[in-house]
Amino acid sequence: MIKFDNMYLKKCFILACALSAASASFGESETWPLQQCFDYALQQNINVQKGRIVLEQDRISTHQAKGQWLPSANISASQSLNNSPFTEMGYANNYSGNYNLGVSWTVFNGFRRKYNIKQQELQETIQETSLKSTEEDIKISVLSCYLQILYAKENVQIRKNSLETSSEQLNRYKQLYEAGSVSKIDLSQVESQHVAETYQLTVAENQLANDLLQLKQLLRLDLNQEIDIPSMELSVEQVTAQLVNKDSVYAAALATRPEIAMAELNETMSDLQIKSAKSGYYPSVNLSAGVGTGHRNHVDLSGGDQLKQNFGENIGLSLNYAILDNRERKSTLSKAKLNRNIAELETDNLKDELKKTIESAYLDAQAAQMNFLAAQSNEQAAASTYELTKEKFSLGMKSPFEMLSERNTLLNAQQQTLQAKYTAILNMQILRIYQGLPVEIE
């Protein structure tokens, strides 16, 4: 008989505890509530980050456009040396220097400056709205993935419960078979059912893993980071809550959806482009002023005296108007008016698409609620039938095939209830989002 001293046993115990803790730590996953998923996805999404950068660029462009109201100023200084080796003058090298300061300002340019600033400010607002639209789309994607995971988790639990029942029945049948109470055919049927349910559990667990992976990709998490979401109990009242009238949803969506606001802003932008094109028919007025001086060699004055005597000032006002411009102004105005028509059509198209989306979500939610109630009744009936069949089987009045068939019927009913429940919840929450309301499932 092998004996171990106390010190050896103590070391083994410590090593086992350490390995157990390391294993638990390695397999530990972080739980992510829905709101945390929303916040993190909006923070990490590449399209959102790019949109924020573009927004900063538009803000810079707005400041640049406002700078058109300011005058421009330029200062110049030049030094030149000319060599004339064959001149008959008394000197071959000529050196000179010139210094100038000029200021110019556009007094009037047909209101183009005013409309350019308004267009750039409007472009900044359009980009802000576009960023909100991108964020709304990401929230819907995260919500859909999140609910799919909840569905997959409940489906795994259903499969686990079914497999546990199947394992108990298989063990019981093996005992009955060894006692000679059931035939080999009956045992084979139960064994086949057990294998099939083991496979279905594996499929359900793989689907859950894939859904969690999709959520990780939406959140842009590291490959080695494991995540999970908290399970939640959705009541019948939540699933069957009364839907808001779809006309009310559509009216709220027209007032709150960023894509509609962006389309209407594009119409306003088209109006400004028309006004800017019309400003080309106005003349432009420019004001300029400047001072300058200079000096050169071979003059009987010092450099300072030359700068003083050569100092000069100038001021000028110019008026410019293009009489012929190769039809540029007319073509620009015509294109701007056509762009206005296109913007109106885009707005109408977006409103039609929004109406279709809301109608589809409303009908899907309504149908899912009805399916949920029907599936619940079907599940209750299937559960009662299955329990009755089990009792009759224990009395020898039902065959294993009949009992297994009733259990499969119950499983199908449970899955139909589960699918209808989450389809209803998803479409109900989408309707809330389109009304500008927060998601409420937690």
User: Is 254 within the bounds of a domain?
Assistant: yes
CATH code of the domain covering residue 365: 1.20.1600.10
Residue 407 has a pLDDT of 86
What burial class does residue 211 get, using C-beta atoms within 10 Å of its C-beta: 0-12 exposed, 13-18 middle, 19+ buried? buried
Spatial distance between the Cα atoms of 409 and 65, rounded to a whole number of angstroms:
70
pLDDT at 6 over 70: no
User: Is 263 within the bounds of a domain?
Assistant: yes
Residue 224 has a pLDDT of 87
Contact (CB, 8 A) for 430 and 140: yes
Residue 143 has a pLDDT of 96
Pick the residue with more confidence: 223 or 248?
248
User: Is 308 within the bounds of a domain?
Assistant: no
pLDDT in tens, 406-435: 889 999 999 999 999 999 999 999 999 999
pLDDT at 26 over 50: no
User: Is 360 within the bounds of a domain?
Assistant: yes
Band (pLDDT 50/70/90 cuts) for residue 24 is very low
Mean pLDDT score, 120-126: 96
> Burial code of 26-62, b = ≥16 C-beta within 10 A, e = fewer?
eeeeeebebeebbebbbeebeebeebeeebeebbeeb
Pick the residue with more confidence: 371 or 232?
371
Q: How many residues does the chain have?
A: 442
Strand-pair partners of 108: 285
pLDDT in tens, 62-75: 999 999 999 999 99
Spatial distance between the Cα atoms of 346 and 259, rounded to a whole number of angstroms:
11
User: Is 11 within the bounds of a domain?
Assistant: no
Residue 1 has a pLDDT of 36
Q: What is the pTM of this model?
A: 0.82
Spatial distance between the Cα atoms of 338 and 368, rounded to a whole number of angstroms:
45
What burial class does residue 229 get, using C-beta atoms within 10 Å of its C-beta: 0-12 exposed, 13-18 middle, 19+ buried? buried
Q: Residue 430: which domain range?
A: 31-69+109-283+328-434
Mean pLDDT score, 218-246: 91
Residue 179 in 3-state DSSP? coil
Residue 331 has a pLDDT of 96
Band (pLDDT 50/70/90 cuts) for residue 297 is confident
Which residues 6+ apart lie within 8 Å of 362 measured at CB?
243, 246, 249, 427, 431
pLDDT in tens, 386-405: 889 888 877 778 787 888 88
pLDDT at 234 over 50: yes
Contact (CB, 8 A) for 281 and 110: yes
Residue 307 has a pLDDT of 86
Pick the residue with more confidence: 187 or 2?
187
User: Is 439 within the bounds of a domain?
Assistant: no
User: Is 320 within the bounds of a domain?
Assistant: no
Q: For the ranges 28-42, 251-265, 295-309, which has the lowest average pLDDT?
A: 295-309
User: Is 190 within the bounds of a domain?
Assistant: yes
pLDDT at 351 over 70: yes
Q: Report percent pLDDT > 70 for the chain.
A: 91
pLDDT at 136 over 60: yes
Q: Return the DSSP state at 29.
A: -
pLDDT in tens, 260-273: 999 999 999 999 99
Residue 86 has a pLDDT of 62
Say how many domains are in the chain.
Answer: 1
